[in-house]
Structure 1
Amino acid sequence: MSFRVAVVGATGNVGREMLNILAERQFPVKDVIPLASDRSNGAEISFGEDEVLKVRSLDKFDFKGVDIVLSSAGAKISADFAPRAAAAGAIVIDNTSFFRMDPDVPLVVPEVNPEDIALYRKKGIIANPNCSTIQMVVALKPLHDLVKIKRVVVSTYQSVSGAGKEGMDELFDQTRNVFTNGSLEHKKFTKQIAFNVIPHIDVFMEDGYTKEEWKMAVETRKILDPDIPVTATCVRVPVFIGHSEAVNVEFEEAMSVDHARAALRSAPGVSVVDLRADEGYVTPVECAGEDKVYVSRIRKDPTVPHGLNLWVVSDNLRKGAALNAVQIAEVLIRDHLKKAA
C-alpha cells in the first residue's frame, strides 16, 4: 500500500530534510508533491538520489486525494492551510507551533507517546513538538518509566539552524567578517551570534521567560506527564546544526546512575556515550546528520536527595523536526491507515 504525500515548505531547511528522510527510509509513496510559496513555483528540488521534483504553489493547491501532509512552513501558514487540507481528507503532520497546545490535536514523539496518534481523527492534524522538547522527552521517557520524575531544570544550547536558513547565513557571514573586518550587522538575531551566545530564543513573555522556554515546559507536560514541572533557559549558540541540553532531573525516589544508564541504553531512539574520559561524550558536530538522541555525562546531583544530571545532544533538523514527523507518519500508516484500508 502506498500513499500520496505532500511536503509543505519543501524549499526550507526542514522541508528539504523531510524529502531526504522520506527517500532514505523508503517511505511507501506513490506520489510526492513539494509545496512552497508562489515565488518557488516551478523550482526543482531533489527527492532521493535520482528523482527531481517540481515545486508547486501552496496557495493554489487542491489537497483532494492527498493522504498525508508533512508541513514546516511557519505557524501563520499552517493556521491557514492545515484545516483546508484536513477538510479535503488529508492528515496533516505539522511542525509549527500553531496547533501544539490545541487540546484536540495530539502532540507526538513516537518513542514517547505513539498511542496519542489515534487522536488525529478529531481534527485531522497531528502536531510535531518543538525541537528542543523532542530530544529532551526522548531522554526523559525511559527514566520516568523507571522512577517518577519530580522536577526538570534544563539549559539549552541551540544551533542557528533552528532559526532557519537566515540564521545559518548570519552566523556564516558574521564569522567571515570578524576576520576580514567586515560588518557584523545582525538581522535575524537580537545580538551578534558569531563568537557569542544569546540567552534569547523567540519572544519574551510577561513573566520574563521566552516563548521557547515556555514551550519546553508546556509541551513536556502534554507529551510525557501533566504533573512534571519544567523550568528552562534557552540559549542560541554559534553552532550550525545540533542542539545540546544540560538537563537536571529530580526524581521522587532513588535513581542510581547505573539504573539510569541501563534504562537509556535500552530505550528506542537513544544512544548512550558516557565514558567519563577525554572525548567520551557527544557534541553537536558529531550528531549532525544522525537520527539518535545522544546522552552523555550521566552523573548524580549531590544537591538534592534523588537527582541526576544529563547531557543530551541531537540533530535539530532531523530528530528535532523532519525525522520525528516522518516517524509519526510511519506509525500512522502502520497502526491506523493500513488497518482502515
Structure 2
Amino acid sequence: MSKKTERQFRIALIGTDSLRAREIKDLLAGRQLPIKSMEFYDPEVAEEYSKLTEFRDEPKVIHHPYPELLEGLDLVFLAADKETNRQFGRLAREKGFKAIDLEESFIDQPDVPLVVAGVNDQVLEREEVFLVSNPHPVTIFLTHVLAAVSSSYKIKKALAVVLQPVSAYASAGIEELAEQSYALLSSSSLSHKIFGDQIAFNFLPEVEKADRDGFSASERQIIQEVRRVLKSDFDFSLSLVQAPVFHVYSLVVYLELTEEASLEQLGKVFRQKDIFQFHPPGSARQISNMRAAGQEKIFIGHLKKDQSPPGSFWLYVAADNLTIGSALNALELARKLVGLR
C-alpha cells in the first residue's frame, strides 16, 4: 500500500523587513508547514532582482507585489505597511487564498476576525474564513492568562501594568535605545526620534499622545481587543509603561475572583496548560526578560495572594513579543486555516 502523500502549500510573505516578518520567515524555514513553494514580496522593491533574501539555504528574489502574482497561492502572510496589507488582504476571498495579517492592519474592521489560537480560534471552524488578524502581543498574552483562569474561576476584575519593550516600535525603537545607551556611556549627545525623551536607563509612562481620559491609542486597542477575544463581562483595564529593554513584555497582573482560592489552586490552572512556563512560589529561578527572550512559552509566576478583598491575587508575566506574541500565533492560525491540526 502506498503511503498517503502529504499536502503541500504555496505560501507568500508580503513585507520582508519588519521584525515580525523576519520571525515568521524563520519559523516557516524551520519546516513548521509542508511548503511546496515560498514567495517573497515587498512594496519597496522598484526594480526586479534588486532585492534578495534566503529561505532554507536557497537564494530567493523579492518581487514587487501585484494582485495577479497572488493567484494560485494557498496562504499569504501580511507583514508590510498597513495600506499594503489592507490592499492585498481584501483580495483573499477573490483570489482564493487565506491571509493572516501580522501588523494589526485590520483592528478597526469588525468583519475581520481577531483570533488568538487556543482561546477563540473556534471562530475559524464555524465558517470559511479567508482573512484573519493577529492581535497585539499583549492581547495574546493576557487572553491566554485570563482564559485559563476563567476556565476554573469567575473573574470579577482584572488589571495590568505592562512594561513595553522598545521593539514595539520595530527596528527604529531598538536602534534608538542602543544609540542612547552608547551616547550616555560615552558622554555624547542624545537623539530623540521615536520616544521624544531619554529611554536609555529610564522609564517613560507616556510615549504616545493620550486621549481626554489619559489613555493612549495602544492602551485602548489592547483593552478593546481583550474584550473582543474573550467576550468577557468582568471589569478590565491596563496601563502601558515604556521600558528600556529591547525585547519581551513584562506584565504585573491583578486578579479579583468572585470566590476564594489558594495559591496552590490558582497555580494549578497554569501548570495544566502547555503554553505556560509556570514558576511556583518559592522557585529558585526568577522570571526575567532574559529568560523569556526568544522562547515559545508565556512565563508566569511570583503569585501573591492578597488579603483584601477576598479572592484577589497578583501575578507576574513575561513573554517574547516576536515569538509567542506574534509568529507562533500566526503559524497556528495558518495551520487551522489550511486544514492542518
Specify if TM > 0.5. yes
Equivalents in 2 of 1:116, 1:203: separation in Å?
Answer: 34
CA shift in 2, pair 1:63/1:167, >3 Å: same
The Cα shift of 1:110 comes to 1.0
Listed one character per residue, the Cα deviations across residues 102-146 of structure 1 (whole Å, up to 9, x for unaligned) are 332221111212202236735x21111101111111122111110
The Cα shift of 1:257 comes to 1.5
Find 1:291's aligned residue among 288, 296, 304.
296
2:220 aligned counterpart, secondary structure: helix
- Partner residue in 1 for 2:3: none
Pairing of 1:262-281 with structure 2 (within 5 A): 262-276=268-282, 280-281=285-286
Pairing of 1:54-69 with structure 2 (within 5 A): 54-58=61-65, 62-69=69-76
The Cα shift of 1:203 comes to 4.0
Equivalents in 2 of 1:5, 1:205: separation in Å?
Answer: 40
CA shift in 2, pair 1:61/1:241, >3 Å: farther
Equivalents in 1 of 2:238, 2:225: separation in Å?
Answer: 12
Equivalents in 2 of 1:120, 1:16: separation in Å?
Answer: 30
- Partner residue in 2 for 1:321: 326
More helix by share: 1
CA shift in 2, pair 1:215/1:201, >3 Å: farther
In the alignment, is residue 227 of structure 1 matched against residue 262 of structure 2? no
Segment drifting more, 37-46 vs 250-259: 37-46
Q: Percent identity?
A: 29
Count of matched residue pairs: 333
Equivalents in 2 of 1:43, 1:28: separation in Å?
Answer: 26
Equivalents in 2 of 1:24, 1:69: separation in Å?
Answer: 17
The Cα shift of 1:34 comes to 1.8
Equivalents in 2 of 1:202, 1:27: separation in Å?
Answer: 38
Give the gaps of 5 or more residues in structure 2.
1-6
- Partner residue in 2 for 1:311: 316
CA shift in 2, pair 1:200/1:116, >3 Å: farther
In the alignment, is residue 45 of structure 1 matched against residue 42 of structure 2? no
In the alignment, is residue 98 of structure 1 matched against residue 88 of structure 2? no
Aligned partners of 2:98 and 2:337 also within 8 Å = no
CA shift in 2, pair 1:321/1:228, >3 Å: same
The Cα shift of 1:87 comes to 2.3
Find 2:260's aligned residue among 250, 254, 259.
254
2:90 aligned counterpart, secondary structure: helix
Aligned letter for 2:51?
A
- What TM-score results when the alignment is normalised by the length of structure 2? 0.91
Equivalents in 2 of 1:316, 1:305: separation in Å?
Answer: 33
Give the gaps of 5 or more residues in structure 1.
337-341
Equivalents in 1 of 2:234, 2:14: separation in Å?
Answer: 33
CA shift in 2, pair 1:76/1:201, >3 Å: farther
Listed one character per residue, the Cα deviations across residues 43-98 of structure 1 (whole Å, up to 9, x for unaligned) are 222324x2332222235662111111112223333222211244211211112333
1:110 aligned counterpart, secondary structure: coil
- What TM-score results when the alignment is normalised by the length of structure 1? 0.91
Equivalents in 2 of 1:310, 1:120: separation in Å?
Answer: 37
Aligned partners of 1:156 and 1:233 also within 8 Å = yes
In the alignment, is residue 183 of structure 1 matched against residue 185 of structure 2? no
RMSD of Structure 2 on Structure 1 (CA): 2.0
Equivalents in 2 of 1:219, 1:298: separation in Å?
Answer: 25
- Partner residue in 2 for 1:26: 32
Pairing of 1:69-84 with structure 2 (within 5 A): 69-84=76-91
The Cα shift of 1:152 comes to 1.1
CA shift in 2, pair 1:120/1:204, >3 Å: farther
- Partner residue in 2 for 1:339: none
2:256 aligned counterpart, secondary structure: strand
The Cα shift of 1:302 comes to 2.2
Segment drifting more, 58-67 vs 245-254: 58-67
